[in-house]
Amino acid sequence: MRKTTLILVLFMSSIVCWSSEPITDYRNPKIAIDVRIQDLLSRMTLEEKIGQMNQFVGLKHIQKNMGVLTEEELKTNTANAFYPGVSIRSLEEITKNGLIGSYLHVLTIEEANYLQSLAMKSRLQIPILFGIDAIHGNANAPDNTVYPTNIGLASSFDVPMAYTIARQTAKEMRAMNMHWTFNPNVEVARDPRWGRVGETFGEDPYLVSLMGAASVKGYQGNLNSDDNVLACIKHFVGGSQSINGTNGAPTDLSERTIREVFFPPFKAGVDAGAMSIMMAHNELNGIPCHSNEWLMKDVLRDEWKFKGFVVSDWMDIEHIYDLHATAENKKEAYYQSIMAGMDLHMHGVDWNNLVVELVKEGRISERRIDESVRKILDIKFRLGLFENPYADENQTMKIRLNPEHRTTALEASRNSIVLLKNKNILPIAPKIKNVLVTGINANDQNILGDWSAVQKDENVITILQGLQMIAPNVKYKFVDQGWNPQKMDSKQVDKAAELAKSSDLNIVVAGEYMMRHRWNEKTSGEDKDRSDIYLVGLQEELIRKVAASGKPTVLILVTGRPLSIERVLDNVDAVVLAWEPGMYGGQAIAEILYGKINPSAKLPVSIPRNAGQIQMIYNHKPSQYFHPYAVGSSEPLFPFGYGLSYNTYKYSNLKLSKANISKTENITVSVDITNMGKMDGFEIAQMYIRDRFSQVTRPVKELKDFARVSLKPGETKTVKFSITPEKLTFLDKKLNPIVESGEFIVMVGSSSQDNDLMKDSFFVKE
């Protein structure tokens, strides 16, 4: 009997041991993620936990910069890095020891898989989370689909396209073993001097919110698939309206402006499910964003119930000490940032040791560290990295640059190009057989835009190549002006001017330079802010001299920011704003010039006449131009929402479903739009609202809805917009959301300027 009992006990014990291990083992994918996280946390040392909160730049990136940058240059360079005194071998050992949770600036699948293999040699085999600035496709790495940048995408007013591009980008990233994109940038761009306008979706909070939320959903899906990636909404908050237009400069804004203009796109991103958010470089009202408890705790966690993790931007926690001087040393800066709500540090070697010291000294509790690590591990589990830490090098190019993605890139480019002026010169007539093409961006990969690596020539169609492809029977005379607008040669300018005299048509491709591999020569993009917004170098001289030939002249602008062309606008017959159109930009531009595609894009920003007009926004307060400028115009060069077509679209029959509503009712606005032209086309109809009288001043108009409407020649469609209580809500004197009674003016039309809008009004009753 005793023997039988002993056997039974041993048998039952074996069952318990066999069955209990899967229940508590973090390596078992069948158990709940929160259980896996708790089990893994219980096994981790303090050093391993703090390592999960730190990110390093990739080994190849370090090797490239070791012999190029000095330690002094490292202090101000926000694109390139190495770690003085730390060898590649040392970083490999740290990775093997499980003390690095994330890498960025890893640009090949081979390096990503190699670093992951090192992490798999660590005690707990916690996989690396690879982050990359996949701003418009995974363009910062070679051999990926390059879509138009965000400002061009916003010009299409095509929200589903934002989702599609993000979805395809996620697939290409995972095919390279990349898991985390530092996008979408949902800052509201209100200063064209700022170099990062091209990363944003423009100046309107509503448009930015829709585009940002769609991007988040496209990147992340449900975060439970091997083709999803982590989205990162950035930069929180206010960096797009610094006091002088430069990146990282102080920002001073009222809480009303912060909540009404800058918060809504971030809140929309959180509501869309974004699981990471990046803090802004700047200080906000005297407090660095990276140590701002109000932003990270009060707003993000408490008000918005944000469940993801907060990441710093490039060395910005260190800048609490060495720039903002609100901490006496790095250690104090780390303390301030973590206690304010920071979860993950980008990037550097001092974090691990100093944060360990802070915990051992009792200044930061290990429980606080666990809060951050839990969020980071949650993402790694949800993305399936513990089960599949590698990407297949044999399959990667079957996903990247595939035909579907290439088609999307071309379509997005076609829809992103804004026609700003046309004196009946476009589309180019068949009789035009002799064309001069010149300008810094005429035959250069710069059309890819900022956050782009150099791509293989066969994967990029420049503007000259696009023209030759779409109109092969035309003779194109090309005069190279070099790629650098700051070093143009006056002899080449004169050569173009001379050849222009014998041409039927002249095309000048001007703008900015954005390619990151020539960081010091860039004139637009990250950390390339301007004190004016005119064309750099001899570009205006080139335009004038070419146009002086008396032959029709087309100006194409390739740029990441709004540029003033007021001084040359009258010299040219047509202006095409291409933004940064991506890998097929040359083809899309040529198709528009020759009428294969009808332009449809509209401006997502106002374009000032000069820097002296800044701030130039469409949704300004009523008193902003009560006193017009004594010298010069108070009107923008081109207004928000503006863009021409080869058709004319007639708006008529504006109707409201009700004249009076309660504060909880909806109202429907309808308008008829007729294509009066001869081509198929898309019209972007826009609806604005103004609260006629209110307890606090309200903008003269605010975009509240829009629609891309396809119309055949002669066709009329009725477009309907719904006005909900949410679209009438604003913040009262105490910053509480309310819907006020009174008159609301509805404006519908083709742009934000008054003479393009039909108007009617309704009343909200108590």
Task: Give the catalytic positions in this structure.
Answer: 313
Report how far apart, in Å, the C-alpha atoms of 76 and of each of 71, 73, 319, 695 are: 10, 6, 10, 46
CA nearest to 167, candidates 202, 124, 138: 138
CA nearest to 500, candidates 555, 441, 421, 565: 555
Distance CA 38, CA 373 (A): 10
Whether the CB-CB separation of 533 and 611 falls below 8 Å is answered with: yes
Region of 165 please: left (phi>0), alpha (psi -120 to 50) or beta: alpha
Give the largest CA-CA distance in the chain.
Answer: 113
Strands (E), 452-520: 475-480, 505-511
Distance CA 287, CA 203 (A): 24
CA nearest to 274, candidates 162, 169, 181: 181
Distance CA 61, CA 561 (A): 28
Backbone angles phi, psi at 764, to 5 degrees: -95, 125
Is 289 in a helix, a strand, or coil?
Answer: helix
Partners of residue 511 on adjacent β-strands: 558
Beta-carbon neighbour count of residue 606 at 10 Å?
29
HEC assignment per residue over 664-678: CCCEEEEEEEEECCC
Partners of residue 479 on adjacent β-strands: 438
Structure tokens at 142: 């070679």
Report how far apart, in Å, the C-alpha atoms of 261 and of each of 237, 258, 664, 727, 730 are: 11, 6, 24, 14, 11
| Count of alpha carbons within 13 angstroms of residue 476, beta-carbon side | 21
Q: How far apart are the first and last CA of the chain?
A: 86
Would you give the distance in Å from CA 453 to the centre of its chain? 16
Under 8 Å CB-to-CB from 302, ≥6 apart: which residues?
none
Amino acid at 259: R
Length of the chain: 766
The dihedral of CA 164, 166, 171, 176: what is its sign?
Answer: positive
Torsion of CA 38, 45, 347, 272, to 10 degrees: 0
Whether the CB-CB separation of 147 and 165 falls below 8 Å is answered with: yes
| Count of alpha carbons within 13 angstroms of residue 589, beta-carbon side | 34
644: which DSSP letter? B
Report how far apart, in Å, the C-alpha atoms of 425 and of each of 471, 599, 683, 760 are: 16, 14, 21, 36
Distance CA 649, CA 681 (A): 10
Distance CA 360, CA 655 (A): 68
Partners of residue 251 on adjacent β-strands: 284
Distance CA 404, CA 398 (A): 11
Structure tokens at 4: 């039988």
Torsion of CA 143, 146, 150, 151, to 10 degrees: 130
Structure tokens at 703: 């975009």
Tokens 């496709």 sit on residue: 137
Distance CA 240, CA 205 (A): 12
Would you give the distance in Å from CA 288 to the centre of its chain? 22
